[in-house]
Amino acid sequence: MKLVINGEEAISKDGINVSELLIEQDVKMPEMVSVELNGSIVRREAFDATNLKEGDKVEFLYFMGGGSVAE
């Protein structure tokens, strides 16, 4: 399916969830990234349960808080 990731068209496997998308798109520092789907932030605990569909607009955002131990 086609998605718009960070403003650019991208091809992704049909029906995958946000966690799978992070791996598929080889997103850097996935534990630090915030994901916005069609204008709304997806909560981290909802990554697995949030499935994507054709035409979805996804933004990956980084807030450099520094020294996060989550990494």
Partner 1 sequence: MRTATVVMHGGFERDEETGASTPPIYQTVSYAYKTAKELADIFAGRAPGYIYTRIANPTTYALERRLAQLEGGVGCIATSSGMAAITSVVMGLLRAGDELVTASGIFGGTLSLFVNTLGRFGVKTRLVDAGETDQFARAINKNTKLIFVETIGNPRMDVPDIPAVARIANEANILFIVDNTVTTPVLIKPKEFGADIVVHSTSKFINGHGTAIGGAIIDTGNYNWSKGPFKDIKHLAERAGQLAFLAHLRNLIYRDLGGCPAPMNSFLMMQGLETLAVRMDKHCDNALRLAEYLQGHDKVRWVNYPGLADSEFYGRTEKLFGGRGGGLLTFGLGDKDKAFKFIDSVRLAKNLANLGDAKTLVLHPASTIFHEFSADQQKKMDVTDDMVRVSVGIEDFEDIRNDFKQAIEKAFEGKG
Cα torsion 33, 37, 42, 48: sign: negative
34 vs 38, which CB is nearer to partner 1?
Answer: 34
Tell me how far, at minimum, the Cβ of 17 lies from partner 1, in Å. Answer: 20
Please choose, from the candidates 45, 42, 44, 8, the residue with its C-alpha nearest in 3D space to the C-alpha of residue 25. Answer: 8
* Site membership for partner 1, residue 39 (CB under 8 A): no
Pick the piece of the chain touching partner 1 (CB under 8 A) from 17-25, 45-53, 54-62: 54-62
How far is 22 from 24, CA to CA, in rounded Å?
Answer: 6
Interaction site with partner 1 (CB under 8 A): 6, 28-29, 32-34, 36, 41, 44, 59-71
